[in-house]
Copies of this chain bind each other. A is one copy, B any other.
């Protein structure tokens, strides 16, 4: 007897960890596995290939499913975006007999958050980017140009501006802000000028600068005017990212679903208003429905119907924070 059911493997390959699921087309999750980072640029092709093939081995073996029953591997990968990079990953999987879909990890975050439906996501952690999908399944992105050329509204942007305003107070260009004292205490320095060599020697990394964003949220709650300016500007920039998407995708509806993803939105109450203000549409903020790995799985389906979404709701709930 031939098993007709075919399975899909969804992979969320990030810079700190890689999550993968094996599920059937109805959305039933058969196996799940989490391994180390899979940033293609950092790991290199050889290491990346090994990680990927081990992952597939593990998922199929633990679920007693033959590799020939896997109809598709659907991947969202950090550090992959350009066509030649996608082609290389396709090549790796093609060599061992798998059909694949390869996208950047932001795309599966979009698919997961909106359950494959039209809408927009803003992703803001250390960096920032916005993505959207319209009802013709067209995808657009804006931002994500990195800490020198972009990442407006990101954690790095907020933390960097805290430092800039503190230095402006120090050299007489800016007004007084409680951020100066908070930064000095946080970084254990006695003079704000000391941040300068820390930044350029990279003893303060981009992640460290991003972490200063929490001081800005705290100063905002204490009614600091500069913190208010920084968060307003950050929210506006994030809104402008999303608005660019909305114009490009020519959304018909005047009401657009939007999900906010990433560390910055842990304290999103300070950012919602300026985001809304930057976008002349009705924005319907919704909680992300699924994690990115489910987005990868959804991307691998030919058609997403309500049945599979409901099954996935149930499955994800069952797994709890395990995804």
Contacts and interface: CB of A to CB of B under 8 A. Distances in A.
How many protomers of this protein does the assembly include? 2
Contacts of A171: 141-143, 145, 244
B200 A146 contact: yes
B149 A196 contact: yes
Nearest to A167: B145
A320 interface: no
Interface in A162-191: 163-164, 167, 171-173
A195 interface: yes
Contacts of A149: 160, 163-164, 167, 195-196, 199
B167 A199 contact: no
A66 interface: no
A248 interface: yes
Given A148-B160, A150-B167, A200-B148, A245 B141 contact: no
A318 interface: no
Contacts of A196: 145-146, 149
Contacts of A164: 145, 149-150
A56 interface: no
A247 B171 CA distance: 11
Contacts of A143: 171, 173
Interface string A43-67: 0000000000000000000000000
Given A148-B199, A149-B160, A164-B149, A244 B173 contact: yes
Contacts of A146: 196, 199-200
A160 B149 CA distance: 7
Given A140-B172, A146-B196, 8 more contacts: A141-B171, A142-B173, A146-B199, A148-B160, A149-B164, A150-B167, A172-B244, A172-B245
7 contacts: A145-B171, A145-B196, A149-B167, A172-B244, A172-B245, A173-B243, A173-B244
